[in-house]
Amino acid sequence: MKADVPPSGQPLVELKGISKRYGDLLANDGINLSIEPGEIHALLGENGAGKSTLVKILYGVIEPSAGEIRLEGRPVTIGSPVEARALGLGMVFQHFSLFDELTVAENIAVALSGDWSLSTVREKLGEISGTYGLALDADRAIWTLSAGERQRIEIVRCLLQNPRLLILDEPTSVLTPQEAEHLFTTLDRLSAEGCSILYISHKLEEVRRLCRRATILRGGRVVATIDPRASSAREIAALMVGNAVGDIRTDAPHHPQGETLRVSNLTMPPAGLHGQALRDINLAARAGEVVGIAGVAGNGQSELFAALSGERLADHAETIAINGKPSGTMGIDARRRVGAAFVPEERLGHSAAPTHSLSENTLISHASTEVSRSGFILMNAAKRVARSIVQSFDVRTPEGDPQARKLSGGNLQKFVIGREIIRRPKLLIVDQPTWGVDAGAARLIRQALVDLAREGSAVVVISQDLDELFEVADRMAVIHQGTLSPLRPIGEWTKEAVGLEMLGVAQAEGGVHAI
């Protein structure tokens, strides 16, 4: 743990009365926040609480409707990210902004202001990498790098501009436990050297480990500023959502029955130039259990989901069996008709049509049920189904039957998962079920997945969130470079062992070895 950074008496950054209005929506409502030099300060809140709006104002992406930003006591106007960087503010976004075909050095150079030659970039990259333990090969192409290495590039790009404040948005969402711990060490060192860090995360144990102050937003307002080390993760989550967040109930009888899904020797070439091939995948999911698939992004999770859902077809029907029926050459609708349901990772544009209403979006997976008859769509029936999903899964909508794009990320995720669960499928396959959603929505979704399994369905959860998998899964495997490890009961795994498998390192007697 790093030592406490004593208050200097003069905040590095101070936000005073920041408000942002979009029509009738007040996204930020008179927010006050201060960040001390060398402090790692957490910004917490549910999806829709106003975090993204606030940091975009601080980074110059959007203009506040009211309020003032002070830097070392001086009022400043930040009109763009270029101006923010010139003032010493850097930001690493949750979704990386890198060009896959360019090298590490080239990606860093194109983002820097001023005249930087590639030789200068390589030299500075070597210095910073060595100083902070952010190992990078300047000449590697981006598409060959892991998620952890890509994040290092984003951080190095910021550090090359000598930031006084570094804003990190969900920085460990795609990292293994080992990579996350390495990041924490780097942040501790930056903090000790006087660099302030604004840390946004849904992972509250990380916040408790790193931060001595946390500002919590709810409904666009500050509801508390606390020392997170003095509160439990559950207490912090309750402040974020406005009520207590309970544990997932998994104590219902767990008696797995016959196999609902059987995958035998599934091998597929990559779908695109930089896709991941699947190699000899073997997998079984039984009625009554949750099977977890862990892995770092880019190791075949998307390809596995596409193969299981029917978005890509296997060469032989027998490669994938659903409810005992050879299904490898069936399309998505045919697999739904034999009892399967699917929730892709990307909720807006893949799981849901953005400009269509919620009732229209029920047709994606309910077209062959009560919402159609003799080839005709029954919109009143579709609306009834949508209302049932909204009520059963606590989907908070701005109006009666809004377009999907008008829902917050967490509420849309509850809707698309509820849309599948309400059908009571025999098999549910879901990719990243709580990606980017808040603690309250995550708990509801995870509980619904466990409940569906305990009612007799087989549930396969593909996730990069190890806490999630340890919370819901009965058995788990790890996918790495398109190869799946054997399934093992969750009690036989530790987070450290999973992390090593995710990195392609297996434990061996007397140490570890690369797979």
78 plus 20 within the same structural domain: yes
Whether residues 129 and 112 fall in one domain: yes
Instruction: Find the angle CA(364)-CA(370)-CA(374) to the nearest 5 degrees.
Output: 90
DSSP letter string, 448-475: HHHHHHHTT-EEEEEES-HHHHHHH-SE
Query: Residue 216 carries which side chain, given as an amino acid letter?
Result: I
Helix (H, G, I), strand (E, B) or coil at 167: strand
- Same domain for 288 and 378? no
Q: How many CB atoms lie within 10 A of CB 127?
A: 12
**Of 396, 422, 448, the domain-final residue:** 422
Whether residue 347 is contained in a domain is answered as no
What's the predicted TM-score (pTM) here? 0.75
349 inside domain: no
Same domain, 166 and 49: yes
Is residue 293 classed exposed, middle or buried when 0-12, 13-18 and 19+ CB atoms within 10 A define those classes? buried
**Residues 35/72, Cβ–Cβ less than 8 Å:** no
Does residue 235 lie in a domain region?
A: yes
> How many CA atoms does the CB half-sphere of 177 hold within 13 Å?
12
| 463 in any annotated domain | yes
- Residue whose C-alpha is closest to residue 241's, from 437, 8, 72: 437
In a domain, 350, yes or no: no
Report the pLDDT value the prediction gives residue 263, as an integer from 0 to 100.
97
Distance CA 73, CA 67 (A): 14
**Domain boundary at 206, 241, 276, which?**
241
Q: 70 CB contacts (<8 Å, ≥6 apart)?
A: 11, 13, 14, 15, 16, 76
Indicate if 204 and 321 belong to the same structural domain.
Answer: no
468 HSE (CA, 13 A, CB side): 32
pLDDT averaged per 10 residues in sequence order, the chain, 515 residues: 50 96 88 96 87 93 95 94 92 81 88 80 86 84 82 85 90 79 89 94 90 93 95 88 68 75 96 86 96 89 95 96 96 94 90 94 82 80 91 86 87 93 95 82 91 95 91 95 95 90 62 43
In order, the DSSP letters of 184-236 are: HHHHHHHHHTT-EEEEE-S-HHHHHHH-SEEEEEETTEEEEEE-GGGS-HHHH
Rg over CA atoms, the chain: 24
The CATH number of residue 123's host domain is: 3.40.50.300
Same domain assignment for residues 433 and 378: no
* Residues 55 and 66 reside in one and the same domain: yes
Do 158 and 283 sit in the same domain of this protein? no
- 396 lies in the same domain as 279: no
Rounded distance between C-alpha atoms, residue 411 and residue 443, angstroms:
13
Of 31, 393, 402, 398, which Cα lies nearest the Cα of 218?
Answer: 31
Token code pair at residue 44: 């917490």
Largest CA distance in the chain: 73
Q: With respect to residue 359, please indicate whether it lies within any of the assigned structural domains.
A: yes
Segments forming the whole domain that contains residue 399: 355-422
Specify if 3 maps to a domain: no
pLDDT at 246: 61
Residues 63 and 167 in one domain: yes
Domain stop point among 196, 221, 241: 241
**pLDDT number for residue 503:** 79
Total domains in the chain come to 3
Give CA–CA dist 178/181, Å, rounded.
5
- Quick count: other Cβ atoms within 10 Å of Cβ 443? 19
In a domain, 2, yes or no: no
Task: Say if residue 197 is in the same domain as residue 327.
Answer: no
pLDDT for the residue 3 = 38
Same-domain status, 132 and 87: yes
